Amino acid sequence: MDFFKNIIDKNQIENIPASKIDDLMDEGAFILDVRTEGEYKERSVKNSVNIPLQELDVRYTELPDKKIYILCRSGARSLEAAKFLKVKGFDVCNIKGGIIEYPGK
């Protein structure tokens, strides 16, 4: 997925802080968690969907046709996922700071 670093600049990706996750959940937003399955099992956002970044290139067709808010541990993998999905035509937003900065509901 490093290939997408050269196509989409990080400044072309919308970002929101992790502190907004609860608001997103209340609005029924689709939250995609791109951490590994093990990380996801340790701690996750309720009703989020886990597709590890390493599997996203073959599983992106499972995603809905609506805005996708992307989460990882710190915001780095989610940014890579956002770049990939943007190239594929998805409306995406990176959750900056990731689960580390999510205070939890």
Could you tell me the domains of the chain? 2-101 (3.40.250.10)
The whole-model pTM stands at 0.90
Per-residue pLDDT, averaged over 43-50, amounts to: 95
Q: Rounded CA gap, 4 and 6, in Å?
A: 5
Q: Are strands 92-96 and 14-17 parallel, antiparallel or unpaired?
A: parallel
Residues 17-35 have pLDDT tens digits of: 999 999 999 999 999 999 9
Residue 104, pLDDT score:
80
Q: Work out the average pLDDT over 36-51.
A: 96
Count Cβ atoms within 10 A of the Cβ of residue 63 and give its class: 0-12 exposed, 13-18 middle, 19 or more buried: middle
Q: Are 27 and 33 a contacting pair, CB within 8 Å?
A: no
